[in-house]
Amino acid sequence: MTIRFDNKVAIVTGAGNGLGRAHALELAARGAKVVVNDLGGARDGSGQSSQASEEVVALIKANGGDAISHGANVANFDEVQDMVDTAVSRWGKVDILVNNAGILRDKSFSKMSLEDFKLVMDVHLMGSVNCTKAVWDLMREQNYGRIVMTTSSSGMYGNFGQSNYGAAKMALVGLMNTLVLEGAKHNIKVNALAPTAGTRMTEDLMPEQMVKILAPEAVTAGLITLCDEDAPNRTILCAGAGGYATANMFETEGIFLPIAEQTPEAVREQWAQLTNQEQQCALEAGVKQSEKFVMKAMAAL
Ligand SMILES: NC(=O)c1ccc[n+]([C@@H]2O[C@H](COP(=O)([O-])OP(=O)(O)OC[C@H]3O[C@@H](n4cnc5c(N)ncnc54)[C@H](O)[C@@H]3O)[C@@H](O)[C@H]2O)c1
């Protein structure tokens, strides 16, 4: 069945370029009213312009869709609140939030200034927190919400020179995990997208042919499934160049050591067993880890 967003209102942050632009165009093409947010700065976050987001709005309108642009800096809560208020006063609600805006300030950790670390955390992590906070109570009250965090393989697996970016991107997975639990009874689903695409963020990091293969539209096809009524929940969808996969966190079954044996030497001796992945599983909440260990200890009594 065709996925449609008629009568749905979506906010896409950082939608003036790259992935956000492709997301906004596709959501609008499928019937959503879209807030095309973009600060319009350079890749490193400097500067400001409304040109790119206005061009996306013009394109959506030319295709018969409905959209407005908003230049909020996602790192500034007041500006974000104004963006959400604008969407609500025009269309009455916000159903979908795609946290996509982002910048890079790459340097090896030894050379990275704390200022660059904080700025990247501010845009990716606090930017997503601010936007989510501004729509959260609306979504709870209307008993409907679809939120997407944009994470990255750099966070999940590391990438040289991206300690700031990787930390911020992985923090978004932590944010998702708790929001999934808190949003469940209000029909709010939260997922994460781990894209790989040829955009201005990555174009000088890869050969031209690779950039062409990594079209943003291929990622958007995955993103759309996370915005749908039938979206999954708590899924990290990895997408790029027509490839789609999920990334998952599992915990090994582990071992139990009685009190007298709870020494670093014993832990080291059991390393092969405690890292054995045969019975590993995903835990649906942090407390499940405590439960697992306490159950093992009780069973040994
Ligand atoms: N391109 C990739 O391969 C890749 C891989 C992993 C993750 N990502 C993530 O995907 C998202 C989109 O990246 P992209 O490749 O399309 O980059 P891009 O640079 O083409 O687009 C990012 C957009 O975000 C906007 N933006 C930046 N800071 C902002 C702020 N404070 N407030 C509002 N808008 C702001 C920029 O103006 C820009 O238009 C980012 O979160 C990025 O980290 C991209």
148: left (phi over 0), alpha (psi -120 to 50) or beta: beta
Kindly state if the Cβ of 166 falls inside 6 Å of ligand 1.
Answer: no
- CB burial of residue 135 (10 Å; 0-12, 13-18, 19+): buried
Look at residue 205 in the predicted model and tell me its pLDDT: 82
Kindly state if the Cβ of 41 falls inside 6 Å of ligand 1.
Answer: yes
**CA-proximal residue: ligand 1, atom 43 (nearest):** 102
**CA-proximal residue: ligand 1, atom 3 (nearest):** 196
Residues of the chain falling short of pLDDT 50: none
Strand-pair partners of 195: 239
- CB burial of residue 158 (10 Å; 0-12, 13-18, 19+): exposed
Strand-pair partners of 240: 243
Cβ atoms within 10 Å, residue 138? 18
What CA–CA distance (Å, rounded) separates 26 from 299? Answer: 54
Kindly state if the Cβ of 80 falls inside 6 Å of ligand 1.
Answer: no
What pairing do the DSSP bridges indicate for beta strands 243-247 and 236-240? antiparallel
CA distances from 279 to 211, 250, 282 (A): 39, 10, 10
Look at residue 204 in the predicted model and tell me its pLDDT: 87
Q: How far is the CA of 70 from the centre of ligand 1 (A)?
A: 16
Both tokens of 286, joined, read 């942090």
Look at residue 203 in the predicted model and tell me its pLDDT: 87
The position carrying tokens 């350079």 is: 42
Name the packing angle between helices 127-142 and 163-183 (round to 10°): 10
Question: 157 an active-site residue?
Answer: no
Look at residue 206 in the predicted model and tell me its pLDDT: 87
Choose the residue to mutate in 38, 44, 46 for probing ligand 1, maximizing ligand atoms within 8 Å of C-beta. 38
Dihedral, CA of residue 273, residue 277, residue 281 and residue 287, to nearest 10: 40
Q: How far is the CA of 45 from the centre of ligand 1 (A)?
A: 10
Looking at the CA of residue 123, tell me the nearest atom of ligand 1: 31
